[in-house]
Amino acid sequence: MPSNDSNHWNVLALLKESAPEFVSGNALAVRLNLTRTGIWKNIRTLITLGYHIDSHPRRGYRLVGVPDLLIPEVILPSLTTSWLGRAYYHHSQITSTNDCALQWAAKGAPHGTVIVAEQQTQGRGRMRRPWLSQAGSGIYVSMLLTRPIPVRDAPLMTMVAALALTTILRENFGLAAAVKWPNDILIGSRKLAGILTEMQSDQDRAIFIIIGIGINVNHTQDQLEGPFRYPATSLAVELGTPVRRQDVLLSLLHRLEWEYDRFMTEGFGALLRDVEEASAILHKVVTVHCGNREISGRALGFTPEGGLKLLTLDNKEEIIWVGDVTQVEGFD
């Protein structure tokens, strides 16, 4: 188990300072006012966390590789948000980050609390479908939002989150990401990420909302084969190279805070053009599953309140508030 004190981060800072050169155990001990055994214990803690450190009997220690962990010690110093992720909880393994966020909500955790796991044992998607959550390959994150909003606006949170994620995938990674309303992030017709929004409400207000996001980051093609509803992809598969999850998470939190603040101050209407621009279904013929019926038609766009406008096959305009797009023209 990693030690509870923060000495290992001080050791790490000194290793980083001298990398790629060795620094002696004695020099570290003097700088940090620790014994050489204390230094060795902290080195072991860092190795347990995944840092690659060479040790040499005469030359000391040398940092050769840093892990792509989403631990607070790595994320918080680089976080550029004002409120999202300022309370940040990281788990090596958990059932579901959404479940954990629910527990934090019950304890009165602050607006913007973020829960991240390296691995989920019961990660879930919409309709209680399982969500593949292998250790270290993906991002599994939930965000707790406690600013009250009208219940009817709660589904818009999925659209706000989808817009934020699509934007960073396009701008930071040059990927043609798009949103299959309401919660799938696709590259072409392959699913890269999904969003699960859950809430607690009274009659007219959402008391809190949890946005859970799962992103396939470094999954290999083999890991993505399986009985999925849609063919899946990952950032590494799309880009042909592994991606640092830290960078993806940091930019997602930054952009999501920005889009959420824009939504809260200007309303959904202000995001409408961007939401339509990020859509994978606009102008396409789709089938939408809503309640116990299926409806097909051409997606005309979204209303300023967030409804999906469909021109049905018998030429009537319908607005769908809650549903799941099951088929899109031109997709496998």
CA–CA separation, 97 vs 285, rounded Å?
35
Beta strands in 37-189 (DSSP E): 52-56, 60-65, 88-91, 113-117, 138-145, 149-150, 177-180, 184-187
Stretch near ligand BTN under the rule CB under 6 A, chosen from 81-89, 91-99, 144-152, 158-166: 91-99
Interface pick for ligand BTN out of 214, 297, 306, 323 (rule CB under 6 A): 214
CA–CA separation, 258 vs 252, rounded Å?
10
Helix (H), strand (E) at residue 296? strand 293-302
What is the smallest separation between the CB atom of 128 and ligand BTN, expressed in angstroms? 9
Q: Is the peptide bond before 150 cis (omega within 30 degrees of 0)?
A: no
User: Is 97 near ligand BTN (CB under 6 A)?
Assistant: yes
Site size toward ligand BTN (CB under 6 A) is 21
Question: Which residue's CB is nearer to ligand BTN, number 126 or number 284?
Answer: 126
Closest by CA to 308, choosing from 274, 277, 281, 327, is 281
Interface pick for ligand BTN out of 42, 142, 158, 279 (rule CB under 6 A): 142
CA–CA separation, 318 vs 130, rounded Å?
31
What is the smallest separation between the CB atom of 318 and ligand BTN, expressed in angstroms? 24
What is the smallest separation between the CB atom of 124 and ligand BTN, expressed in angstroms? 4
Stretch near ligand BTN under the rule CB under 6 A, chosen from 28-36, 84-92, 120-128, 298-306: 120-128
User: Is 234 near ligand BTN (CB under 6 A)?
Assistant: no
Binding map of ligand BTN across residues 31-70, x = CB under 6 A, - = no contact: ----------------------------------------
Structure tokens belonging to residue 26: 């004695």
Q: What is the chain's Cα-based Rg?
A: 23
Structure tokens belonging to residue 213: 């996001």
For ligand BTN, the binding residues in 254-293 under the rule CB under 6 A are: none
Stretch near ligand BTN under the rule CB under 6 A, chosen from 33-41, 55-63, 140-148, 306-314: 140-148
Cβ-closest residue to ligand BTN? 194
User: Is 120 near ligand BTN (CB under 6 A)?
Assistant: yes
Closest by CA to 136, choosing from 159, 108, 117, 163, is 117
Within 8 A by CB and 6+ apart from 128, the residues are none
Interface pick for ligand BTN out of 60, 85, 125, 323 (rule CB under 6 A): 125
- Interface residue list for ligand BTN (CB under 6 A): 96-98, 120, 123-126, 129, 131, 140-142, 183-184, 194-196, 212-214
